[in-house]
């Protein structure tokens, strides 16, 4: 029995492009099942997708992260190919993204729009390139792994990855969450260069550069706290300790020189910052042990899911 492929397409008001997207993936992956998850569209996205042979399901909770959560729960396959319904990603690259997953060479493949310069040439939305570079820099600084393209919506996953991935985001932060989870859990990641094209005439982006960008930055900070609590709270402790020293050293120097503490409020404030420094570091130590225990449980869940996948 051959390996099964599921093409997952989260959609919100993509009536202009969804027919072409579904047809393209049916052509390139005729053995795959194409799923379109309609996220409260107010146009004919669902009807058009169904007419072109897609399996259409509805997700009433608004937000791409909510759609991905439900897709990952519902769909059974050996390889999951996730792509946006806006016709910006080439179906011709689908086989190249799925093959490393099916051959057991990768757990997540990433459709890299940046390496060949196609994103810079085609993308007409201000600051999106800058935002992608900023997120790449932050993940590299925190986790030590350099993604070529963090924010791409074109990815393929193994069954074990999908069934053990805890979706926490509800919106467009999902791509960042997928990237950080893959790096932190040491999944095998492979970048696959693709040609990017901008949305066709009449198709509008749902992204807000400022608000969604801010949500992505906050998501990185939150995931950093959850996945690497000791490092996160150690940095907070360092900042608090430096403030405490800056306030307290002049007071200590004056006491050593005169035997007096004339600036008592400053001394109390300095002690408070040093106390918070110690508290932050202790919090990091405690949560680090919690995170390690959770990681062990997750590793065992991965083993169990791997065994189930092998029995399929």
Please write the tens of the pLDDT for every residue from 3-30.
Answer: 799 999 999 999 999 999 999 999 999 9
Distance CA 148, CA 180 (A): 13
Q: Which residue, of 206, 227, 248, is where some domain finishes? A: 227
Buried b (16+ CB within 10 A) or exposed e, 244-269: beebbeebeebeeeeeeeeeeeebeb
- Nearest-5° angle of CA 204, CA 210, CA 43? 25
pTM, full prediction: 0.85
If DSSP codes are grouped into helix, strand and coil, which group holds residue 83?
A: coil
pLDDT at residue number 1: 47
Q: What is the pLDDT of residues 222-277, one digit of tens each?
A: 889 999 999 999 999 999 999 999 999 999 999 888 888 888 899 999 999 999 99
Q: What are the φ and ψ backbone dihedral angles of 263, each rounded to 5 degrees?
A: -105, 70
Same structural domain for residues 92 and 26? yes
Instruction: Answer yes or no: do 177 and 254 share one domain.
Output: no
**Is the same domain home to 69 and 188?**
yes
Q: Which one, of 22, 10, 32, lies nearest residue 79 by Cα?
A: 32
Contact yes or no for 143/180 (Cβ under 8 A): yes
Residues 6 or more apart in contact with residue 133 via CB below 8 angstroms: none
Q: Answer yes or no: do 197 and 294 share one domain.
A: no
- Give the single-character DSSP code of 198: P
At 29 the three-state DSSP class reads coil
Is there a single domain that holds both residue 51 and residue 127? yes
For residues 251 and 220, state if they share a domain: no
Domain boundary among 227, 252, 283: 227
Q: Which domain holds residue 268?
A: 229-311
Domain match, 73 and 201 both: yes
Domain total in the chain: 2
Query: Based on the domain organization, do 144 and 274 belong to the same domain?
Result: no
Q: Is 3 helix (H, G, I), strand (E, B) or coil?
A: coil
Domain end, chosen from 227, 253, 276, is at: 227
**Same-domain status, 196 and 254:** no
Residue 223 and residue 88 share a domain: yes
Q: How far, rounded to the nearest angstrom, does the alpha carbon of residue 59 sit from its chain's CA centroid?
A: 20
CB-count burial class (<10 Å; 0-12, 13-18, 19+) for 186: exposed
Give the pLDDT means over successive 10-residue stretches in the chain (312 positions).
85 94 96 96 95 96 94 96 94 96 96 77 59 81 82 94 92 90 94 86 66 82 92 96 95 88 90 97 96 93 88 72
Domain CATH number, residue 187: 3.90.550.10
DSSP-assigned letter for residue 204: -
Are residues 250 and 240 part of one domain? yes
Based on the domain organization, do 120 and 248 belong to the same domain? no
């Amino acid at each position: 029995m051959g390996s099964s492929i599921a093409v997952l397409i989260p959609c919100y008001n993509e009536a202009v492009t969804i027919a072409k997207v579904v047809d393209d993936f049916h052509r390139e992956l005729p053995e795959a099942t194409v799923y379109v998850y309609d996220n409260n569209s107010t146009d004919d996205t669902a009807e058009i997708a169904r007419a072109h042979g897609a399996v259409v399901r509805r997700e009433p909770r608004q937000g791409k992260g909510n759609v991905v959560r439900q897709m990952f729960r519902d769909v059974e396959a050996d390889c999951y190919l996730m792509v946006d319904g806006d016709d910006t990603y080439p179906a011709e690259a689908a086989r190249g993204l799925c093959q490393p997953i099916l051959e057991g060479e990768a757990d997540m493949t990433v459709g890299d729009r940046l390496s060949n310069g196609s994103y810079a040439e085609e993308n007409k939305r201000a600051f999106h390139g800058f935002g992608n570079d900023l997120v790449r820099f932050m993940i590299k600084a925190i986790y030590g792994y350099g993604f070529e393209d963090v924010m791409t919506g074109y990815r393929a996953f193994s069954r074990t990855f999908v069934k053990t991935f805890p979706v926490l985001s509800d919106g467009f932060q999902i791509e960042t969450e997928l990237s950080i989870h893959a790096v932190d859990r040491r999944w095998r990641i492979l970048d696959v260069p693709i040609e990017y094209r901008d949305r066709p005439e009449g198709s509008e982006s749902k992204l807000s550069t400022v608000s969604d960008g801010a949500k992505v930055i906050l998501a990185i900070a939150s995931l950093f706290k959850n996945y690497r609590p000791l490092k996160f709270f150690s940095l907070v402790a360092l900042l608090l300790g430096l403030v405490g020293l800056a306030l307290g050293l002049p007071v200590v120097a004056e006491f050593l020189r005169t035997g007096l503490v004339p600036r008592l409020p400053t001394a109390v404030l300095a002690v408070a910052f040093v106390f918070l420094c110690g508290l932050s570091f202790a919090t990091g130590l405690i949560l680090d042990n919690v995170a390690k225990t959770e990681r062990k449980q997750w590793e065992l869940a991965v083993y169990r899911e791997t065994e189930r996948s092998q029995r399929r």
